């Protein structure tokens, strides 16, 4: 099939790679270059980099709402639009730019976790299962009928970065399977069961989401550490500074000396790390990163700071 692909981050790369290997990609549309890295130099998105390396026509529009991009997509004469984490809502005329419409590779088992950050949403909620959905796009936010779904387990220690890689590969395979059924005329799109939808959509993650307080429950903090890895990371006050916590583990309340202290109080320092009181129990910090420093075992961080036990953040 001849397709126009729209996608931006790492999640979009395996689906685009699959299309390049098995279909005719006439055009790739991705978000504009963004400042990145310590030097904040402009950087192409992962999907745009792949398109350039393969010599595929590439567009990086600041907006999809003007007539120029609509005409550009139509001029590519696609049979179908394929979207995977493009990063913006497509206007209605764009959804109708191809004869077969537009389909989306979404990183959840719809209708659960519609929205911009379904992987982080699933981890924050403590879901044990997630997956990918191949769906027909309509004007509602991830509300269109579903062609097929593929489930995946969420491991207890899984981060958003790790789960993104897994679901991107799963989504690439599901996408090819879905396109095969569309091309054969056997595709069946099933309306979503609204009763299974989460009460809210998963919003776009903001940098400020990672600034947490020790008064939160230990489980909530631990899930956030995994949900916001690799970005924006979770930062908590420790020894008078905001420290990024890279890895942590919820502990039973009886495992730490003096457990039951005030939120933010360091209860214990040991070979495994630092145990800190949260809003409902102790949390073992295993890997931390002080401002301007490298990530290190929390026990190593503690060796350079005497008298942490009994001190709060």
pLDDT in tens, 161-182: 999 999 999 999 999 999 999 9
The helix (H) or strand (E) run that includes residue 282 is strand 282-289
In angstroms, how far apart are the furthest CA atoms of the chain? 70
Whether 273 and 286 have beta carbons less than 8 Å apart is answered as yes
Write out the chain's pLDDT in tens, 313 residues: 999 999 999 999 999 999 999 999 999 999 999 987 677 788 999 999 999 999 999 999 999 998 999 999 999 999 999 999 999 999 999 999 999 999 999 999 999 999 999 999 999 999 999 999 999 999 999 999 999 999 999 999 999 999 999 999 999 999 999 999 999 999 999 999 988 899 889 999 999 999 999 999 999 999 999 999 999 999 999 988 999 999 999 998 765 555 568 999 999 999 999 999 999 999 999 999 999 999 999 999 998 787 787 666 6
> pTM of this prediction?
0.94
For residue 107, what pLDDT is reported? 98
**How far apart, in whole angstroms, are the C-alpha atoms of residue 144 and residue 166?**
24
- Domains of the chain (ranges; CATH) run 2-196 (3.40.50.170), 208-303 (3.10.25.10)
Q: CA 188, 194, 199, 204 torsion: positive or negative?
A: positive
Residue listed under structure tokens 């010599």:
55
Q: How far apart are the first and last CA of the chain?
A: 58
The CA distance from 134 to 82, in Å, is 10
Q: What is the pLDDT of residue 154?
A: 98
Query: pLDDT at position 62, please?
Result: 94
Specify the 3-state DSSP secondary structure of 85.
Answer: coil
Could you tell me if 96 and 78 are in contact, meaning their C-beta atoms sit under 8 angstroms apart?
no
């Amino acid at each position: 099939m001849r397709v126009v692909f729209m996608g931006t981050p790492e999640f979009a790369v395996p689906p685009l790679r699959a299309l390049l290997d098995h279909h005719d990609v006439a055009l790739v549309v991705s978000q504009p270059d963004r400042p990145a890295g310590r030097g904040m130099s402009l950087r192409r998105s992962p999907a745009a980099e792949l398109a350039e390396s393969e010599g595929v026509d590439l567009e990086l529009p600041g907006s999809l709402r003007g007539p120029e991009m609509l005409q550009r997509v139509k001029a590519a004469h696609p049979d179908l639009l394929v979207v995977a984490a493009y990063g913006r809502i497509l206007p209605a005329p764009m959804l109708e730019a191809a004869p077969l419409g537009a389909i989306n590779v979404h990183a959840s088992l719809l209708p659960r976790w519609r929205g911009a950050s379904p992987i982080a949403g699933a981890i924050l909620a403590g879901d044990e299962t997630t997956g990918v959905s191949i769906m027909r796009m309509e004007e509602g936010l991830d509300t269109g009928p579903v062609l097929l779904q593929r489930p995946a387990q969420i491991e207890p220690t899984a981060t958003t970065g790790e789960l993104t890689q897994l679901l991107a590969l799963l989504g690439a395979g599901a996408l090819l399977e879905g396109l095969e059924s569309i091309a054969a005329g056997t595709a069946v799109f099933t309306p979503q069961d609204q009763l299974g939808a989460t009460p809210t959509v998963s919003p776009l993650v903001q940098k400020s989401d990672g600034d947490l307080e020790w008064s939160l429950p230990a489980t909530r903090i631990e899930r956030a550490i995994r949900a916001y890895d690799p970005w924006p990371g979770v930062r908590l006050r420790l020894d008078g500074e905001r420290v990024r916590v890279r890895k942590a583990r919820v502990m039973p309340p009886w495992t730490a000396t003096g457990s039951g202290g005030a939120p933010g109080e360091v209860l214990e320092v040991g070979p495994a790390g630092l145990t800190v009181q949260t809003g409902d129990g102790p949390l073992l910090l295993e890997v931390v990163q002080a401002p301007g420093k490298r990530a290190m075992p929390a026990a190593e961080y503690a060796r350079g700071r005497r008298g942490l036990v009994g001190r709060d953040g």
